Amino acid sequence: MKFLALLLTTFFVSTFLFGQISIDQQDFMTAGDTVRISFTEDPSIDFASSGPNMTWNFSNLIASSQQLVSPQAVAVGGLFVEIVFNSNNKWKSDYFIDFLDLPLDQVGGFLPINIENVYQFHALSPDSNFITGLSILAEGNNIPFRSDTIEVTYPLPLTFGDSYTSRGYTKADFNPFFDGVFIQYRERNTVVDGHGTLITPFNTFDAIRMHHVIDEVDSFYFDLGFGATWFPLTVPRRHFYEWWAKGEKLPVFSISTVELNGSETITSISYRDLYLGLDASTEEAQLGQTSCFPNPTNGNLVINTPFPMQLCKVINSSGKVCRTIEVDLKTSINLDLNDLSTGVYIISIQGAGQNEVLRVIKD
């Protein structure tokens, strides 16, 4: 009997332990991958709750915009970039992405050149994802800068309970383009503080949660006309809350905040999603004015459009088309969803040269 009890205890403990996911190299994106993310706003969202066996339910969020994330191969960055980041050394990188966190806007108006974009370079190995440096696109030139101290963004594999600290130091000397130097020092403290079930408007995931705290000190050296000097750039402490799932390439859910006087303010909420047609310009988006009600619905849905509809598709969160309805150029239809399972569905509407996408929750 004691042996049986011990065996059962071992089974349940091992099931609990191995039921938690682990994030490894295969779960990250690299050059050529594409992932669409949606952005939304909810100042009251709960980013503090975490721990073991959690259920995070963010299913009621509504996307306001979207972005396609697609890392670029080092080879397309230009000759200088390829020389710096494609050599067989510790800076050899796998891809680069847009980097929006540099506070260069604080001095951009004073610089003698126009900075068009900033890119961050990453390398991926079985034991880590790390930042190798930056490049700055200015006046059509993509100028690369290696990191003197390489910041590890994710040591791998990552599981619940892990924690780590990493530092990065990058010095960008703009000579001979102009007499200026940018210095960035970052410290990252991360803890994997939760695991459980994550429910988003896109899908339900087995996930782990990471909390990154970034402290950064930046400064710029250049001449404003009365002698060159160092200027500190204001960078508040930032928090990044990320939920990761197997095989999704990016966090499936993410909340960013800035900390001022010990209090955090949300700056961004994003999540992995289907294409919703929200990448269009503001003018194109305003053409729609399509509505549906009630939403959430128990099964009966009314859709109204400002244009005659020709085709309506109901798509589930896995991307499967559950129903296709031909519409005889009507601007209002009743849609019966009673036989569908509870969850989130996308309603794709086509007609008269217009396309609209709606998100509907079936209770």
What is residue 288's predicted lDDT score, i.e. its pLDDT?
44
HSE of 176, CA atoms in CB hemisphere, 13 A:
0
Give the pLDDT score at 17: 43
SS3 labels along 45-71 = CCCCCCCCCEEEECCCCCCCEEEEECC
Per-residue model confidence (pLDDT) at position 137: 87
Q: Is 160 helix (H, G, I), strand (E, B) or coil?
A: coil
Distance of alpha carbon 122 from alpha carbon 85, whole angstroms: 9
Residue-by-residue pLDDT tens, the chain, 363 positions: 444 444 444 444 444 444 589 999 999 999 989 899 999 989 899 999 999 999 999 998 988 888 888 899 998 899 899 999 998 789 999 999 988 777 666 666 667 777 788 899 999 999 999 999 999 888 778 899 999 999 999 999 999 999 999 999 999 888 877 788 889 999 999 999 999 999 999 999 999 999 999 999 999 887 656 667 888 887 899 999 999 999 999 999 999 999 988 899 999 999 999 888 776 433 333 334 678 888 888 888 888 887 788 888 888 876 778 888 888 878 888 888 999 988 888 888 877 666 677 778 888
pTM for the predicted model, two decimal places: 0.74
Task: Give CA–CA dist 67/82, Å, rounded.
Answer: 26
Instruction: Sketch out the chain's domains with CATH numbers.
Output: 19-272 (no CATH), 282-362 (2.60.40.3080)
**SS3 category, 292:** strand
In three-state form (DSSP H/G/I as H, E/B as E, the rest C), the secondary structure along 310-341 is EEEEEEECCCCEEEEEEEEEEEEEEEECCCCC
State the DSSP H helix or E strand holding residue 301, giving kind and residue range, or none if neither: strand 300-316
Q: Which residues contact 208 (CB under 8 A, 6 or more apart)?
A: 20, 21, 22, 23, 158, 159, 160, 192, 194, 195, 243, 244
